[in-house]
Amino acid sequence: MAPIRHPHSDHMPAGQIQYQTLDQLSFDMAETHILTIARLFFVSFHHPKSQAWMSAIFTSEDLFGEAQGAKIAAQILQTVNSVRHVRRSGFSYCDPNCEDCAQFVTKEERYLVLALHCLRRGKLSDARTQAMLLCQGGDYTQFMGMLGLLVKSFEEEEASE
């Protein structure tokens, strides 16, 4: 699973030249949806005038239904914010609005979704490792707590289907 150079690197975060593609990772559809929604929040932070936070909420409602979608979007935002408060440096992400870019995953995005992936499968130690990497060795307890709430929402969503 070797990283590859992204063909549209001018759209990608500066200083990052190696990415993995989504199909190289073992994310399920729900985890891929979470990544898309998180990316829309990242766009909103990076380009506030884009108001991409609204797209994040609408996308979440489209993907998870009106009843759970807004709740899941809010939990993704809280999870992302818990990382923003701990990380010492920026967070590289791929543009969710570029069909080509959206197929690639930065290392920070990978840490985020792998933590979720591991937690959903009961691999707490692996989830903590990903959280530690994502939070750059900082206190990741709030992040893990928010991630736990997000997992619980997914379990409720899946049970209601």
Q: What is the pLDDT of residue 9?
A: 47
3 is a domain residue: no
Q: Which domain holds residue 80?
A: 27-156
Phi, psi of 134, rounded to the nearest 5 degrees: -60, -40
**What confidence category does residue 141 fall into, taking pLDDT thresholds of 50, 70 and 90?**
very high
Q: What is the Cα–Cα distance from 131 to 48, expressed in whole angstroms?
A: 26
Number of domains in the chain: 1
12 is a domain residue: no
13 is a domain residue: no
Query: Rounded to two decimals, what is the model's pTM?
Result: 0.86
**Residue 159 reports pLDDT greater than 80:** no
Q: What is the pLDDT of residue 156?
A: 74
Check residues 47 and 62 and name the one with the higher pLDDT.
62
4 is a domain residue: no
149 is a domain residue: yes
End-to-end CA distance of the chain: 34
Environment class of 122 (CB within 10 Å of its CB; exposed 0-12, middle 13-18, buried 19+): exposed
Check residues 13 and 73 and name the one with the higher pLDDT.
73
Q: What is the Cα–Cα distance from 78 to 71, expressed in whole angstroms?
A: 11
Q: What is the Cα–Cα distance from 69 to 85, expressed in whole angstroms?
A: 24
16 is a domain residue: no
**Residue 1 reports pLDDT greater than 70:** no
116 is a domain residue: yes
Q: What percent of the chain lies above the pLDDT cut of 90? A: 61
Across 84-88, average pLDDT:
91
35 is a domain residue: yes
**Residue 85 reports pLDDT greater than 80:** yes
Q: What is the pLDDT of residue 105?
A: 92
**Residue 136 reports pLDDT greater than 80:** yes
**Residue 99 reports pLDDT greater than 50:** yes
Q: What is the Cα–Cα distance from 15 to 79, expressed in whole angstroms?
A: 25
**Residue 161 reports pLDDT greater than 60:** yes
**Residue 53 reports pLDDT greater than 70:** yes
